Amino acid sequence: MGWFLIPFDNLLCMVLGISFTVGFSSLLVIVVPAVLGVSIGIRRLYMKSLLKVFEWATVRMERGAKEKNQHLYKPYSNGIIAKELSSLEQEIQELRASGTTLSSEPEFEMADIMYFCRRGVESIVDDEVTKRFSAQELESWNLLTRSNFNARHISLRLSVLWGLGLFIRYGFLLPLRVTLAASGIGLLVVLTTIVGFIPSGWLRTYLSEKIHLMSYRICVRSLTAIITYHNSENKPKNGGICVANHTTPIDVIILANDGCYSMVGQIHGGLIGVVQRAMVKSSPHIWFERSEVKDRHLVAERLSNHVADKTKHPILIFPEGTCINNTSVMMFKKGSFEIGCTFYPVAIKYDPRFGDAFWNSSKFGMVNYLLRMMSSWAIVCSVWYLPPMSREEGEDAVQFANRVKAAIATQGGLVDLLWDGGLKRGKVKNTFKEEQQKLYSKVLVGDQEDQGEDRPQEDEEEEEGDQNEDRPLEDYTPRPLEDCSLRLQEEEEERGSETPMKDQ
Amino acid sequence: MGSRASSLLREEEIEEIKKETGFSHSQITRLYSRFTSLDKGENGTLGREDFQRIPELAINPLGDRIINAFFPEGEDQVNFRGFMRTLAHFRPIEDNEKNKDPTASEPLNSRINKLLFAFQLYDLDRDDKISRDELLQVLRMMVGVNISDEQLGSIADRTIQEADQNGDNSISFNEFIKVLEKVDVEQKMSIRFLH
């Protein structure tokens, strides 16, 4: 009876044999250069060929749509509406000018409501904030279901291609990447613990740097991250703080691949905690207990002490406090900018065509997110090191933070917003509505209350102007270092799940 | 996630909405994508809290009144048709529509309908009249705490005095139209939708 099973047995052995050989050789081809710190250029070649495939796919979809005489859905990269950029005063004056002419004494017109009405409906159709918290839409399809808007226009050939892509991504790339990631983290933990036994000195620092870099290089390859570093002459130096825009926890790996940083964050339990504790054995990272996180002064003190010591690596901080979808930079929390040292701004811009790196933490948990990352084609990004900046005379922390933010936004081609990234989850403060009301009252009854207040700017800027001022304790939540790891801890607790993480 | 946006909106529905509102095909698909991105519950309708999640709307002094305009009497959820119907009021009036057949039904974005929309923002209890009380409440929403009750009261009195023609101490829709006859409603109550 078993005679017809033998060929299957052989077949199975053959298949297993081949997959193991392929897997192992790929591992070798990837890990060895990582350890040595060289790059063969496989990833770039891969990227180029993928681009050609995507273009072909989009052309076919357009052709398919044209045949059916339908429209291909094109995401609105320029917006759904064109907004008027005039201020409240301007618009109301215009309304008055076209309405009934009355005495010059400022008073109410029933038409005034139209200004608020139109502004309100404009924000319903298209607002600056909510769209920053979901993944960017792509112009062309990249063979991932998750970014497909034109499911109806897929021909047979495209479906086959998509199926092939699916098999490659989940059958070959994903297992390979998971193995790589596991080995990268494993190596990091083991080697840093070993180096921790060596007494402090140049040997220990040297080895620790090498180990960190090597592990991050392996992790980078495990995500097939293709990174281009610009302006490396501005790379952060010891005794400074590196600030960057935040899109995903992977940002840390991307930056640490090219230099050694000291991480800041809350110490977690579980696997992440193990990694954190191991890392700190060989080089000084700043981990806080949960109770210490709320204490602004303690945090500021530890940071200042760290930067004062010139032998320690620069600190890596993400002042936005939460992950934004890489189309804009949102408000920088002022806490870290109060420390007096050199700041090294870094702009990170991801190319979403190969895989969107944005972590939508309200939609996906960490494991789900990592799975998606590892089953995308690649993570392609550019990192720009900007010239160092320091706080100038007469500039307070908020202004300095905004200046740094503007520099990062300009370099990365991102929109510079004053809105708080915390709006992802929280409600906007009432004070902004009160400001709008104040503005309108001024138009109605004149400048009786607001003497000497010069508000020539557009409405939007005024709305967030007070955000960073010192408020009474009830209003202010002291969280100066809301980097991703703090958020993660809360989300983990909310969801009650143990997720293995590999950064920070 | 707006990924399945256009696939859930059938061609027939798009045609119907096109006829009813006058939006173009691509505008409708884009607005549908916006609708689904606001619909966090993914159940095909929007509730009041979905609108309140928009920060720029939350800080608008008349935010709640505008949100209310999307919901028909007594209802708590609005579907895409209703959403489009309300937005249609803000479509600009195109030249070729201005001299249409007068017996054809009034398009949603006509001057009269735009004025009606604004009127309904004032008319809190939907009784087709703006009473002094309603006017005061809306004024209070717009100015916050910055103007005293007496001043606000006199502003309201003056406004009603000028507008009221039949002496019932409230403003009807026709009186409202009269007050605003010189205002460029077509431009002020229109949003420039891109194609």
Yes or no, beta carbons of B183 and A99 under 8 Å apart? yes
Which residue of B144, B171, B189 is in closest CB contact with A434?
A: B144
Question: Mean pLDDT over residues A247-260, rounded?
Answer: 88
3-state per-residue secondary structure call for A179-206: HHHHHHHHHHHHHHHHHCCCCCCHHHHH
Provide the β-strand partners of residue B130.
B171
Which residue of B59, B142, B191 is in closest CB contact with A125?
A: B191
DSSP string, A366-429: HHHHHHHHHTSS-EEEEEEEPPPB-PPTT--HHHHHHHHHHHHHHHHT-EE--S-GGGGTSPPP
Which of B193, B182, B19, B33 lies closest to B111, judged by CA?
B182
Asked whether B21 and B85 are in contact (CB, 8 A), the reply is yes
Q: Between vectors from CA B194 to CA B192 and to CA B195, what angle results, nearest 5°? A: 135
Q: Which residues have a Cβ under 8 Å from the Cβ of A194 and sit 6 or more positions away? A: none
First to last CA, chain A: 57
Question: What residues of B are in contact with residue A95 (Cβ under 8 Å)?
Answer: 183, 188
Q: How many CA atoms lie within 13 A of B46 on its CB side?
A: 28
For residues A503 and A287, the model is more confident at A287
A302-344 per-position pLDDT tens digit: 888 888 888 888 999 998 888 888 889 999 988 888 888 899 9
| Residue A16 token pair | 């297993």
| Optimal mutation site among A112, A121, A444, A453, interface B, most CBs of chain B within 10 A | A121
Q: Which residue of B has its CA nearest to A70?
A: B11
Which residue of B61, B184, B194 is in closest CB contact with A433?
A: B61
B97-156 per-position pLDDT tens digit: 655 555 567 788 889 999 999 999 999 888 888 899 999 999 999 988 888 888 888 888
Q: Which residues have a Cβ under 8 Å from the Cβ of A301 and sit 6 or more positions away? A: none
Q: Is the pTM of this model over 0.90?
A: no
Least confident of A30-44, A394-408, B121-135: A30-44
Yes or no, beta carbons of A82 and B194 under 8 Å apart? yes
Query: Is the pLDDT at A139 greater than 70, yes or no?
Result: no
Yes or no, beta carbons of B57 and A82 under 8 Å apart? no
A461-495 per-position pLDDT tens digit: 433 433 443 333 333 333 333 333 334 444 444 44
Which residue of A125, A363, A440 is in closest CB contact with B87?
A: A125
Which of A356, A331, A295 lies closest to A417, judged by CA?
A331
Yes or no, beta carbons of B4 and A146 under 8 Å apart? no
B27-78 per-position pLDDT tens digit: 888 898 889 888 888 888 999 999 998 999 999 999 999 999 999 888 899 9
What is the per-residue pLDDT for A410?
Answer: 92
A108 falls in which pLDDT band (50, 70, 90)? Answer: confident
Asked whether B6 and B29 are in contact (CB, 8 A), the reply is yes
Q: Which residues have a Cβ under 8 Å from the Cβ of A64 and sit 6 or more positions away? A: A153, A154, A155, A158
- The CA distance from A416 to A128, in Å, is 10
Q: Between vectors from CA A304 to CA A300 and to CA A305, what angle results, nearest 5°? A: 120
Yes or no, beta carbons of A125 and B122 under 8 Å apart? no
- Indicate the helix (H) or strand (E) that contains B171: strand B171-172
Asked whether B80 and B35 are in contact (CB, 8 A), the reply is yes
**Measured in whole angstroms, how far is the alpha carbon of residue B21 from the centre of its chain?**
14
Query: Is the pLDDT at A39 greater than 80, yes or no?
Result: no
High-pLDDT (> 90) share of chain A, %: 10
Asked whether A434 and A140 are in contact (CB, 8 A), the reply is no
Query: Is the pLDDT at A224 greater than 90, yes or no?
Result: no
| Residue B166 token pair | 């039949």
- The CA distance from A48 to A55, in Å, is 11
Asked whether B122 and A112 are in contact (CB, 8 A), the reply is no
Distances (CA, A) of A296 to A285, A323, A334, A476, A478: 18, 22, 11, 12, 6
DSSP string, B86-134: HHHTTSPPPHHHHT--TTSPPPTTSHHHHHHHHHHHH-TT-SSEE-HHH
Yes or no, beta carbons of B26 and A71 under 8 Å apart? yes
Asked whether B55 and A463 are in contact (CB, 8 A), the reply is no
> What is the nearest CA distance from B100 to chain A, expressed in angstroms?
26
Which residue of B5, B29, B60 is in closest CB contact with A123?
A: B60
Yes or no, beta carbons of A113 and B62 under 8 Å apart? yes
Distances (CA, A) of A478 to A90, A266, A297, A348: 38, 15, 10, 27
What is the per-residue pLDDT for A499?
Answer: 37
> What is the nearest CA distance from A126 to chain B, expressed in angstroms?
8
- The CA distance from B173 to A65, in Å, is 48
What is the per-residue pLDDT for A70?
Answer: 61
Q: Which residue of A has its CA nearest to B147?
A: A441
Yes or no, beta carbons of B37 and A73 under 8 Å apart? no
- The chain-wide mean pLDDT, for chain A, equals 77
DSSP string, A319-375: TT-S---SSEE-PPPSGGGGS-SEEEEEEEEEEGGG------TTT--HHHHHHHHHT
Which of A249, A309, A246 lies closest to A283, judged by CA?
A309
Place of tokens 């508000």: A455
What is the per-residue pLDDT for A290?
Answer: 78
Q: Which residue of A has its CA nearest to B140?
A: A437
Least confident of A292-296, A431-435, B145-149: A292-296
Characterize the bridge pairing of strands A262-266 and A315-317. parallel
Question: Mean pLDDT over residues A420-430, rounded?
Answer: 83
Question: Mean pLDDT over residues A83-103, rounded?
Answer: 67
Question: Mean pLDDT over residues A13-21, rounded?
Answer: 83
- The CA distance from B22 to B85, in Å, is 10
Question: What residues of B are in contact with residue A126 (Cβ under 8 Å)?
Answer: 34
Yes or no, beta carbons of B147 and A444 under 8 Å apart? yes
Query: Is the pLDDT at A387 greater than 60, yes or no?
Result: yes
Query: Is the pLDDT at A165 greater than 70, yes or no?
Result: yes
A349 falls in which pLDDT band (50, 70, 90)? Answer: very high
SS3 B183: coil
What is the per-residue pLDDT for A484?
Answer: 38
- The CA distance from A57 to A159, in Å, is 10
